[in-house]
């Protein structure tokens, strides 16, 4: 039985986006001047941001469905088999005879450097017409991958229409991952409950820190806080600096980095962070800063292991810790001081204090795809 817990009364999470294929090759050192080199290992993997998020959530025990376009070509049958083996629902998916996008990932075991060659060719994507057929009654959270802005906007609007007239407890939470094409996706932020933006995107915009990024994102909303409208929570993972987040009241929190003792595999760490954040917020009902701190810990654990299967071995209770927030009890659970050696090690190396920095000033003013960037 998994150590992760997802209450049966909690509705399913729906991940909307793409499933891709990675060929991961591992070698000691890649010399670009050498015409031929020997690999230590190589294997095919199902990938894609939404697909990865669904995988990690399922390993945590959450009920998850994937909604996207899948290839029916025999060569890529392994993708369907892997989704089925993982227990990820695909009943709502559409199928095509096109081959899916793919990447070649070269991992150097000595330097830990990761080089990715990505084929981002056109591939069919789901739209609002497809999404209308989805029974939203079974879902409590929908996570959208930040691509195809118009289609994503239309699908988000369908969720918002579903939420209209329902009490807060029965509304579907909406999250959006922005990992490229920020200018195309920025207008969708106000439609969501949670917006996760990568460090790479922020740096492309010229923002140099998580706090500056949260402030600039807040300014992009162009609505004064004196006007009582729904605003999103911002979550910005920032590699070695940890992560920053801003809640709907404009309060900014900075969560320090949780560094693993070793780094074995960087591929998919940002998707692991996203999944852990959704799990902590939706399943464990943690407040924003506590959920971000939890996600930091899970992503750090993943970095020290190859692939995602390690997540099922991590005891989530070992990541419990009180988060200091101004006037709010951010942790929904009491710290457990008991446990085995694994829990003791997690407490020793993962427990760090979060810092409440302050409230953002109210404001009424106005790619290269990098998958190996740590969150």
Segment 185-203, tens digit of pLDDT: 999 999 999 999 999 999 9
Q: Per residue in 65-76, pLDDT tens?
A: 999 999 999 989
**Residue 150 and residue 161: Cα distance in Å, rounded?**
16
Kindly tell me if the per-residue pLDDT of 39 is higher than 90: no
Kindly tell me if the per-residue pLDDT of 349 is higher than 50: no
Say whether pTM exceeds 0.85.
no
| Residue 177, domain member (yes or no) | yes
For residues 336 and 271, the model is more confident at 271
Q: Give the Å distances, CA to CA, from 26 to 23, 55, 105, 116, 370.
A: 10, 22, 8, 12, 19
Taking a C-beta distance cutoff of 8 angstroms, is the pair 317, 336 a contact?
Answer: yes
| Residue 226, domain member (yes or no) | yes
| pLDDT, mean of residues 28-51 | 81
pLDDT value of position 9: 61
Main-chain phi, psi angles of 186, to 5 degrees: -60, -35
DSSP, residue by residue, 180-201: S-HHHHGGGGGG-SEEEE-HHH
For residues 122 and 282, the model is more confident at 282
| Residue 42, domain member (yes or no) | no
**Residue 163 and residue 157: Cα distance in Å, rounded?**
10
pLDDT value of position 332: 34
| Residue 26, domain member (yes or no) | no
What interhelical angle do 269-278 and 288-303 show, nearest 10? 140
pLDDT value of position 88: 98
Residues 6+ apart with CB under 8 A from 322: 330, 331, 335
Number of domains, the chain: 1
pLDDT confidence bin for 13, thresholds 50/70/90: very high
Q: Per residue in 203-260, pLDDT tens?
A: 999 999 999 999 999 999 877 666 666 789 999 999 878 899 999 999 999 998 888 8
| Residue 208, domain member (yes or no) | yes
Q: Most distant CA pair in the chain: distance in Å?
A: 64
Kindly tell me if the per-residue pLDDT of 351 is higher than 60: no
Main-chain phi, psi angles of 151, to 5 degrees: -65, -40
Kindly tell me if the per-residue pLDDT of 19 is higher than 60: yes
DSSP 27: E
E strand spans, 48-193: 64-67, 69-71, 94-96, 102-108, 114-119, 139-145, 173-178
| Residue 153, domain member (yes or no) | yes
| Residue 112, domain member (yes or no) | no
- The β-bridge relationship of strands 12-16 and 20-27 is unpaired
**Residue 296 and residue 303: Cα distance in Å, rounded?**
11
**Residue 221 and residue 84: Cα distance in Å, rounded?**
40
For residues 240 and 364, the model is more confident at 240
**Residue 230 and residue 239: Cα distance in Å, rounded?**
29
DSSP, residue by residue, 235-282: EEE-GGG-EEEE-TT-EEEEE-----S-----TTHHHHHHHHHHIIII
Q: Sign of dihedral through CA atoms 144, 191, 12, 237?
A: positive
Domain containing residue 178: CATH number: 3.40.1190.20
Lowest-confidence segment of 248-252, 259-263, 277-281 by average pLDDT: 259-263
| pLDDT, mean of residues 8-34 | 84
| Residue 170, domain member (yes or no) | yes
| Domain, as residue range, for 277 | 12-20+48-100+124-313
| pLDDT, mean of residues 325-344 | 39
Mean pLDDT, the chain, integer: 83
For residues 7 and 197, the model is more confident at 197
Taking a C-beta distance cutoff of 8 angstroms, is the pair 285, 310 a contact?
Answer: no
Highest-pLDDT range among 99-113, 145-159, 218-232: 145-159
**Residue 133 and residue 141: Cα distance in Å, rounded?**
17
């Amino acid at each position: 039985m998994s150590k992760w817990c997802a209450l049966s009364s909690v509705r399913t999470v729906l991940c909307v986006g793409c499933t891709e294929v990675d060929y991961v090759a591992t070698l000691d050192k890649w010399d670009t001047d050498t015409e031929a080199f020997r690999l230590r290992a190589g294997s095919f993997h199902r990938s894609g941001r939404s697909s990865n998020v669904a995988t990690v959530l399922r390993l945590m025990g959450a009920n998850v469905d994937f909604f996207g376009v899948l290839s029916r070509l025999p060569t890529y049958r392994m993708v369907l088999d892997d989704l089925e083996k993982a227990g990820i629902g695909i009943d709502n998916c559409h199928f095509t005879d096109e081959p899916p996008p793919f990447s070649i990932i070269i991992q150097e075991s000595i330097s830990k450097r990761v080089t990715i060659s990505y084929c981002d060719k056109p591939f069919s994507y789901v739209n609002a017409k497809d999404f209308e057929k989805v029974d939203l009654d079974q879902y409590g959270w929908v996570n959208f991958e930040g691509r195809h802005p118009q289609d994503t906007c239309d699908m988000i609007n369908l969720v918002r229409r579903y939420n209209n007239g329902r009490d807060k407890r029965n509304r579907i939470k909406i999250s959006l991952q922005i990992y490229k094409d920020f200018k195309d996706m920025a207008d969708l932020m106000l439609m969501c409950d949670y917006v996760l933006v990568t460090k790479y995107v922020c740096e492309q915009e010229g923002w140099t820190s998580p706090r500056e990024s949260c402030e600039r994102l807040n300014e992009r909303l162009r609505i004064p806080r004196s006007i009582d409208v729904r605003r999103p929570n911002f979550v910005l993972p920032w590699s070695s600096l940890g992560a920053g987040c801003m809640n709907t009241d404009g309060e900014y929190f900075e969560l320090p980095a949780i560094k693993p003792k070793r780094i074995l595999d960087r591929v998919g760490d940002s998707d692991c962070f996203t999944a852990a954040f959704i799990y902590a917020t939706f399943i464990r009902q943690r407040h924003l800063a506590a959920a971000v701190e939890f996600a930091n810990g899970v992503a750090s654990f993943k970095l020290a292991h190859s692939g995602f299967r390690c997540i099922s071995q991590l005891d989530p209770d070992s990541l419990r810790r009180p988060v200091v927030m101004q006037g709010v009890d951010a942790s929904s659970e009491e710290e457990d001081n008991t446990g085995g050696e694994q829990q003791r090690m997690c407490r020793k190396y993962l427990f760090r204090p979060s810092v409440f920095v302050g409230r953002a000033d109210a404001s009424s003013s106005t790619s290269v795809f990098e998958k190996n960037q740590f969150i």
